[in-house]
Amino acid sequence: MKTLKVLLLSWILLPVLCYGQEQVFSKSNDGNIVVKPQYIESFHNGDYKNITPYIVEQSKNETALDGSTYLIKCLKYRNWENDPGDMHVLEVLYQDKVIYSLVNNNSGWENIADEPQGVEKTSFYYKMNLDDNTIALLFVGVYIMSQPPYLTVVILKNGNAALVFNKPSYINKIERNGEEINFTLQSNTLEYLDMNSSEPINPPDLHTLTLKDGMIYYK
């Protein structure tokens, strides 16, 4: 009986022991995405006028391995010349219908040309296939006053789209090992005694976002 209990406990803890991480989202019985609020911080958006029609910065089709195609539109506010952000609105269309829209006008997202390489990316997002019918898109917010920018993760699945992760985080590194992808994240800003100091006075607060086996894990 004692052996059976040990085996059962090992089976329950196996995902934690393998990854040391928690799932960022879960799936319903019909396979759709179920979000976890603890991984999503809301943007503090303002109410602005004279910002439409939006300027289309990028419009691109993304196709899942099963053939499902989504149109991803990255839009910028009009008359936003001196304010931060290369894009402020994300729209996702499926079969010519808008299925999801997300606004970030507090700071916006940036063009990610200078962000770390390692996986497929466009001008505005990283793109990864999690499984046959699931796509993950990662957007990077604007760097303001040396604070970590928002990292925004949107999942496309079964003709739907969902925000599953939205937290301030630098991307320090991207590593790919076969089908596993690891984003090394830093959620704080390092501080130094003066401009000539090479050693920070505070340690980096590091986390890992792992994409593997149709799921995203966070540690």
pLDDT of 95 = 98
Report, as ranges of residue numbers, the positions in the chain whose pLDDT lies below 70: 1-19
**DSSP class of 13:** H
- Helix, strand, or coil here: 37? helix
Q: Give how far Cα 211 sits from Cα of 130, 144, 153, 182, Å.
A: 7, 28, 11, 7
Helices (H) and strands (E) in the chain, counts: 1, 15
Among residues 24, 67, 35, 28, which one has the least CA distance to residue 161? 35
pLDDT of 198 = 76
Residue 108: count other Cβ atoms within 10 Å of its Cβ.
Answer: 24
- Take residue 81 and report the two structure tokens written for it: 């010349």
Q: What is the pLDDT of residues 128-171, one digit of tens each?
A: 999 999 999 999 999 988 899 999 999 999 999 999 999 999 99
Quote the CA–CA distance of 67 and 61 in Å, as a whole number: 11
Distant-in-sequence, close-in-space partners of 44: CB < 8 Å, separation ≥ 6? 106
pLDDT of 158 = 95
Q: Give how far Cα 19 sits from Cα of 31, 105, 169, 184, 209, Å.
A: 22, 35, 20, 14, 10
pTM metric for this prediction: 0.88
pLDDT of 13 = 42
For the chain, the helix, strand and coil percentages under 3-state DSSP, each to the nearest 5: 10, 45, 45
